[in-house]
Structure formats: structure tokens, C-alpha cells
Amino acid sequence: MKIICIGRNYADHIKEMNSNVPEIPVFFLKPDTALLRKNKPFYYPEFSKEIHYETEVVIKINRLGKHIEEKFAHRYYSEIGLGIDFTARDLQRECKKKGLPWEIAKGFDHSAPLTETFVNKEDLPDNISFKLDLNGETVQEGNTKDMIFSFDKLISYLSIFFPLKIGDLIFTGTPSGVGEVKIGDKLKGYLEDRLMFDFRIK
Ligand code: MG
């Protein structure tokens, strides 16, 4: 199982990061050890002083495919969840400055909290709203209609480079409002009005 994360997929987030709008999707991978499930707490790692949350809609691949045409891509996923792409922003800044890969800033243990249950895509609208509450206050709100690259485009593009396999997860990018977490924080994520995860930073 692989975890594929899309960067820079919401224009308002690109603006807040002072990045450029990509012409093709930007992606990176996290190892399966990055997953954090069942609302278990996230333990703040000692190697970073600036862990940021990035709330992202996650699609789960349900069949094997390579070189998937965009018009058929919708057949490759049926369930949708919500996750966080935790990012050690201080380490990422260093990597970017040196032109190095981001893995140490993105792929560390439990950097990918994920909903325990997924929602059937038929039970969600075409444009899915989602949000993150931090200590009871909404800090990120997004809607998949604002994605630069749609789910189908992403699936088609990624499948040029490697086969997509059953159970693979695609974190589809974050809207604006990313920010730091602190020890003691409580994070709640919603897809539409469904509470999808609820965990603490320890
Ligand atoms: Mg992200």
C-alpha cells in the first residue's frame, strides 16, 4: 500500500505558501508507517519545532490500474475519507532551500492521520466540503470544487508513473489555513457534516 500526497492543489493555499500554480500535479509519497488511525494521539516529534496540519480529502483506490485514462478514472475509487498531511515545516523549508527531497519533512511516523471509516462517494455531493476544527475553532475550510486537478485528473496522471493498487491512498491537497499544532491541541475533521476524526496532540 502506498500513500500518495498531492501538493499545491488549491489556489488559496498556493498563495499563502508563496508558491507557483503548477501546470502538472506535484506529488510525493509517504511510507505506510506514516498512517495514524483510530483517533490515536499524535506524539510531537523531537526533530521539529514547527509541525503544521494540512487537512486533505483522501481517496482510496479500489482496483489495479496503470495508464488510466481520465474518462475511466472514476471507476478506480469508490470511497472517500479525510486525513491530515502533517508537515515539519521547518525541515521542509531547509529541504526546499537546498533543493532536496521533502521526505524527512513529510514521511515521518504518524504524519498521516486518517479516518477509520470511509464514506461511499455516492453518499457525498460532487463538490465535497470539508473542514478542520482546532480546539473547537474552525481553522481550515475547503471544497473539492476548488481543486486545481480533479480526482480523475490526479488518478490518470499518477498512473503514468506507477500502477495504482487496491488500498492505495491519495491525499488530494490542502486548502488555505494551514498552521501549527501544539502539544495539548484537539483536532476534529469533518467531511460535509460527518465527524471523521477526533484526536489529540501529545
Ligand atoms: Mg499536503
The CATH number assigned to the domain holding 43 equals 3.90.850.10
Q: pLDDT at position 173, please?
A: 97
70 conformational bin, left if phi > 0, alpha if psi -120 to 50, beta if neither: alpha
Radius of gyration for the alpha carbons in the chain, expressed in angstroms and rounded: 16
Tell me the residue range of the domain where 185 lies: 3-200
CA of 83 to the centre of ligand 1 (A): 10
Listing from the earlier edge strand, what are the strands of the sheet with 129-134? Answer: 137-143, 129-134, 186-191, 194-200
Please give the distance, rounded to the nearest whole angstrom, from the Cα atom of residue 93 to the centre of ligand 1: 14
**Measuring CA to CA, which residue among 138, 137, 69, 167 is closest to residue 129?**
138
Closest residue by Cα to residue 167 from 93, 63, 20: 63
- Which pLDDT value is given to residue 16? 85
What is the reported pLDDT for 19? 86
Q: How far is the CA of 52 from the centre of ligand 1 (A)?
A: 10
pTM for the complete prediction? 0.96
Residues around the ion ligand 1 (C-beta < 5 A):
54, 85, 174
pLDDT at 21: 84
Which pLDDT belongs to residue 136? 97
Residue-level pLDDT at 190: 98
Q: How many domains does one find in the chain?
A: 1
Q: How many other C-beta atoms lie within 10 A of the C-beta of residue 163? A: 14
Instruction: Spell out, as residue ranges, where the chain has pLDDT lower than 70.
Output: none
Distance from Cα 168 to the centre of ligand 1, integer Å: 16
Centre of ligand 1 from the C-alpha of residue 85, in Å: 5
Contacts of 196 (CB under 8 A, 6+ apart): 81, 82, 115, 117, 189, 190
Q: What pLDDT is stored for residue 22 in this prediction?
A: 87
Instruction: Give me the pLDDT at residue 59, please.
Output: 98
pLDDT at 20: 84
Can you tell me the distance from the alpha carbon of 143 to that of 10, in angstroms, rounded to the nearest whole number? 9
Which residues, other chains included, contact 159 with Cβ-Cβ below 8 Å and sequence gap of 6+? Answer: 65, 66, 67, 68
The pLDDT score that the predictor gives to residue 15 is 84
